[in-house]
């Protein structure tokens, strides 16, 4: 299988994030992508670097003010007296008072939602490289590949049109899905990361041409907390095109795979021209960021189910933080996926 990858991700390596009031080691590390890359190369998959992309398809999804912030924030922050090397907002725009200030110290809490999306010197470059990798995978499929995998880092599905959060800055899968929808008409997204794809949901919530399904741990107790509930169905033209399947914490393979079956049935009924998958390995039972308990064989079985879809498929990497198991879980997923695809 061809896969896309941008080495610019190494430029984004914030050492720490804030969790429960404490600075802790950042789980979203370059080593994650390095482990996945080593696995893909060892299995003979073919690496493709993104080339020739500009900002057009990123601007088609994201707010211009937010993009300008991301590109310039670190330099502006560093010009403040006593500024830290990483941007950690300490005040946030509450939902009832979203005025956009001009200062960098005000804008960091306007454009970043929470303590798990610090901005480092290379964050913008890395985020753009990750988005371009997703676009390149979409282009491979539009040009005739049956499927492609994009090794995106930083991940993207928690990024809204106008703010970042949860390790995410640019919404890679939304950028790729919008690009594909502009060429194909109707596309579907299945998000199987352990955390609800709140940014992706928000971007397509009022659209009828992008059908979004997310299977995830209960957002009442698991990030992102403020979206991901079963009663969020879409609005306007998007009514009926948003399906959330939250699962009780500690759910194991049978419940998780049952939710994926429900999601795939919804996607098959939509009859999309292509499927994009937000592929997270953090539902894994040993993952430090998850409260689900999926096994490596569970990922193989998920791949089999998703591989039964007969149209073009773009797989986009999202979360997964137990570095030593990422390669094994990706391999199991792709093995199950290819088994179903080749059985057609």
Give whole-number Cα distances, 33 to 30, 97, 130, 181, 255, in Å: 6, 38, 11, 28, 28
List of residues 6+ apart from 17 with CB closer than 8 A: 23, 24, 26, 27, 28, 115, 116, 117, 118
129: its two tokens: 């490289």
Q: What is the residue-wise DSSP string for 86-155?
A: SB---S---TT-----SSHHHHHHHHB-STT--B-TTHHHHHHHHHHHHHHHHHHHHTT-SEEEE--SS-
Part in contact with Zn ion (CB under 5 A); list of ranges 7-15, 29-37, 185-193, 197-205: 185-193
> Which C-beta is closer to Zn ion: that of 312 or that of 319?
319
**Given candidates 219, 228, 319, 336, which one binds Zn ion under the rule CB under 5 A?**
319
> Which C-beta is closer to Zn ion: that of 165 or that of 280?
280
Part in contact with Zn ion (CB under 5 A); list of ranges 86-94, 241-249, 252-260, 318-326: 318-326
**Given candidates 45, 153, 195, 216, which one binds Zn ion under the rule CB under 5 A?**
195
Which DSSP letter does residue 45 get?
A: P
Part in contact with Zn ion (CB under 5 A); list of ranges 77-85, 107-115, 249-257, 314-322: 314-322
Considering the rule CB under 5 A, would residue 280 count as an interface residue with Zn ion? Answer: yes
Minimum CB separation of residue 152 from Zn ion in Å reads 13
Kindly tell me the burial class for residue 22, based on how many C-beta atoms sit within 10 Å of its own C-beta (0-12, 13-18, 19 or more).
exposed
x-marked contacts with Zn ion along 43-82 as a string, rule CB under 5 A: ----------------------------------------
Cβ distance 12 to 4 under 8 Å?
A: no
Part in contact with Zn ion (CB under 5 A); list of ranges 137-145, 190-198, 202-210, 332-340: 190-198
Residues acting as catalytic residues? 158
Minimum CB separation of residue 102 from Zn ion in Å reads 33
> Which C-beta is closer to Zn ion: that of 179 or that of 284?
284
Would strands 187-191 and 210-217 be described as parallel, antiparallel, or unpaired? parallel
Minimum CB separation of residue 79 from Zn ion in Å reads 33
Cβ distance 256 to 282 under 8 Å?
A: no
> Which C-beta is closer to Zn ion: that of 107 or that of 201?
201
Considering the rule CB under 5 A, would residue 327 count as an interface residue with Zn ion? Answer: no
Considering the rule CB under 5 A, would residue 209 count as an interface residue with Zn ion? Answer: no
**Given candidates 147, 162, 282, 287, which one binds Zn ion under the rule CB under 5 A?**
282
Minimum CB separation of residue 282 from Zn ion in Å reads 4
Find residue 313's DSSP bridge partners.
147, 275
Minimum CB separation of residue 336 from Zn ion in Å reads 20
Part in contact with Zn ion (CB under 5 A); list of ranges 49-57, 124-132, 187-195, 247-255: 187-195
Number of neighbours of residue 207 by Cβ within 10 angstroms: 19
Minimum CB separation of residue 155 from Zn ion in Å reads 7
The three-class DSSP label of residue 34 is helix
- Helix or strand holding residue 188 (H, E): strand 187-191
The residue count for binding Zn ion (CB under 5 A) is 5
Residues contributing to the site for Zn ion (CB under 5 A): 193, 195, 280, 282, 319
């Amino acid at each position: 299988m061809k896969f896309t990858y941008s080495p610019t991700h190494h430029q984004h390596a914030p050492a720490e994030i804030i969790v429960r009031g404490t600075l802790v080691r950042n789980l979203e590390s370059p080593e994650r992508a390095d482990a996945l890359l080593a696995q893909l190369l060892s299995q003979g998959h073919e690496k493709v670097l993104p080339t020739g992309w500009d900002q057009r398809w990123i601007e088609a999804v994201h707010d211009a003010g937010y993009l300008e912030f991301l590109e310039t924030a670190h330099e502006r922050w560093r010009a403040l007296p006593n500024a830290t090397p990483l941007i950690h907002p300490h005040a946030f725009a509450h939902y009832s008072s979203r005025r956009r200030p001009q200062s960098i110290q005000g804008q960091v809490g306007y454009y970043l939602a929470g303590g798990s999306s610090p901005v480092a010197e290379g964050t913008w470059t890395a985020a753009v490289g990750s988005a371009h990798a997703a676009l390149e995978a979409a282009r491979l499929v539009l040009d005739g590949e049956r499927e492609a995998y994009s090794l995106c880092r930083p991940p993207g599905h928690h990024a809204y049109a106008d703010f970042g959060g949860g390790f995410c800055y640019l919404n890679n899968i939304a950028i790729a899905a919008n690009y594909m929808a502009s060429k194909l008409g109707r596309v579907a997204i299945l998000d199987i990361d352990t955390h609800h794809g709140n940014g992706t949901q928000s971007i397509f919530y009022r659209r009828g041409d992008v059908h979004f399904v997310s299977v995830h741990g209960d957002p009442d107790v698991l990030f992102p907390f403020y979206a991901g509930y079963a009663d969020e169905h879409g609005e306007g033209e998007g009514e009926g095109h948003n399906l959330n399947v939250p699962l009780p914490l500690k759910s194991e393979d049978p419940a998780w795979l049952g939710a994926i079956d429900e999601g795939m049935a919804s996607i098959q009924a939509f009859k999309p021209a292509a499927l994009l998958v937000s592929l997270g390995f953090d539902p894994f039972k040993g993952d430090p960021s998850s409260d689900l308990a999926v096994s490596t064989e569970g990922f193989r079985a998920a791949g089999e189910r998703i591989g039964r879809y007969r149209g073009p498929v773009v797989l986009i990497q999202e979360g997964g933080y137990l570095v030593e198991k990422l390669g094994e879980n990706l391999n199991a997923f792709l093995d199950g996926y290819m088994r179903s695809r080749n059985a057609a």
